[in-house]
């Protein structure tokens, strides 16, 4: 099985139109287009009843006090963690693509409601990131794009993984997370495909 995008190639930079924030020379960063990227897939094995998609930034700093601080960079050797940007499940088995901007088009302060019918969308990790923020705090569902620290010394990698499943619908309810999806998929994955995009808000790295 393969997965690709018309917006970026594997290992290449994700466009600012697909990002939550883009570089702003006067104020470090500002909102980007925040459109979900176009995706398509093929060579699907027999027996697939649905698909699930997870989008994870695998390079998130584990020390918040280093993030977005003037006059310093987040160290490259700082331990990193995962940050979920999208959890999409119960995608019909006949579906072989996702159109650009079909699930997200622009930044929604306090978060989008997300799709709850079919397919369904879970909570992404901006829910925790913006917790307590009077302007942005809320429950963020569906796709919200890259917004790495503008002072990070490394380029972030965003891993899009499509899972072909042997179940029509995953047993998930309420505000489920990417971790919940991973648990619900155990024992049901027939095949998977991966696409990785990169992104940075650090002008020194953006070139």
In this predicted model, what pLDDT tens digit does every residue of 3-50 receive, in sequence order?
Answer: 999 999 999 999 999 999 999 999 999 999 999 999 999 999 999 999
Task: State pTM to two decimals.
Answer: 0.97
- What is the mean pLDDT of the segment spanning 49-61? 98
pLDDT at 207: 79
Question: Cβ neighbours of residue 183 under 8 Å, at least 6 residues apart?
Answer: none
pLDDT at 178: 98
pLDDT at 118: 94
Q: Which two tokens stand for residue 195?
A: 């696409």
Of the candidates 170, 143, 187, the residue with the CA atom closest to the CA atom of residue 37: 143
Q: Check residue 77 and give left, alpha or beta (phi > 0: left; psi -120 to 50: alpha).
A: alpha
**Cα Rg of the chain, angstroms:** 17
List, for residues 136-151, the tens digit of each pLDDT value: 999 999 999 999 999 9
Q: What percent of the chain has pLDDT over 70?
A: 100
Q: Does residue 206 surpass a pLDDT of 90?
A: yes
Q: Does residue 63 surpass a pLDDT of 90?
A: no
pLDDT at 199: 98
Is residue 91 within 8 Å of 72, Cβ to Cβ? no
List, for residues 126-138, the tens digit of each pLDDT value: 999 999 999 999 9
Domain that holds residue 80: 2-206
pLDDT at 51: 98
Q: Which two tokens stand for residue 145?
A: 């794009």
Output phi, psi for 183, to 5 deg: -65, -40
Is residue 198 within 8 Å of 148, Cβ to Cβ? no
Residue 197, domain CATH: 3.90.280.10
Mean pLDDT of the chain: 97
**Total domains in the fold of the chain:** 1
131 burial type by CB count under 10 A (0-12 exposed, 13-18 middle, 19+ buried): exposed
């Amino acid at each position: 099985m393969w997965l690709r995008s018309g917006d970026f190639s594997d290992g290449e930079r994700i466009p600012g139109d697909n990002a939550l924030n883009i570089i702003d020379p006067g104020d470090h960063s500002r909102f980007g287009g925040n459109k979900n990227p176009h995706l398509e897939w093929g060579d699907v094995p027999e027996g697939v009843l649905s698909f699930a998609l997870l989008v994870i930034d695998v390079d998130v700093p584990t020390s918040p006090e280093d993030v977005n601080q003037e006059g310093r960079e987040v160290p490259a050797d700082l331990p990193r963690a995962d940050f979920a940007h999208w959890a999409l499940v119960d995608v019909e088995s006949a579906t072989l693509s996702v159109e650009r901007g079909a699930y997200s088009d622009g930044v929604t302060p306090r978060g989008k409601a997300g799709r709850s019918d079919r397919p369904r969308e879970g909570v992404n990790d901006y829910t925790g990131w913006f917790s307590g923020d009077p302007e942005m705090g809320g429950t963020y569902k569906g796709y919200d794009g890259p917004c790495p620290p503008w002072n990070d010394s490394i380029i972030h990698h965003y891993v899009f993984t499509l899972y072909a499943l042997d179940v029509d619908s995953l047993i998930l309810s309420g505000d489920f997370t990417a971790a919940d999806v991973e648990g619900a998929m155990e024992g049901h994955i027939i095949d998977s495909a991966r696409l990785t995009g990169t992104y940075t808000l650090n002008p020194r790295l953006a070139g």
